[in-house]
Amino acid sequence: MVRVDPRHTSTDCHACGHRQDMPLDVREFACGGCGLVTDRDVNAARNILQRGIALAGWDIGSLGRPGASESVLEPHVAGLPGQDAERYAAD
């Protein structure tokens, strides 16, 4: 287990590092730095993963780095945005 600093994990862009203040009720992360648009929780999860990888000192090539191939991580997050959309639609 690796403990990571959770501060700004949902407000820092996992792709470019741009930080933007967002009220908690805004669930979509739309980066003002690079234009990335993704689910807020998915962005936070990727930041946590990147911090954990950095703290662990793993040498895993480009995985977890900004601009890394999304395909490596996709199986772990596939379906999340769609599930959220369905949940919100049912509310």
Q: Which of 15, 42, 44, 49 binds Zn ion (CB under 5 A)?
A: 15
> Judged by CB under 5 A, does residue 79 bind Zn ion?
no
CA-wise closest residue to 24 among 38, 11, 5: 11
Contact predicate 54/14, CB 8 Å:
no
Q: Select 30 or 78, whichever has its Cβ closest to Zn ion.
A: 30
With CB under 5 A, what is the number of residues at the site for Zn ion? Answer: 8
Vertex 73 angle, CA 59 and 85, to 5°: 150
Binding interface with Zn ion (CB under 5 A): 13, 15-16, 18, 31, 33-34, 36
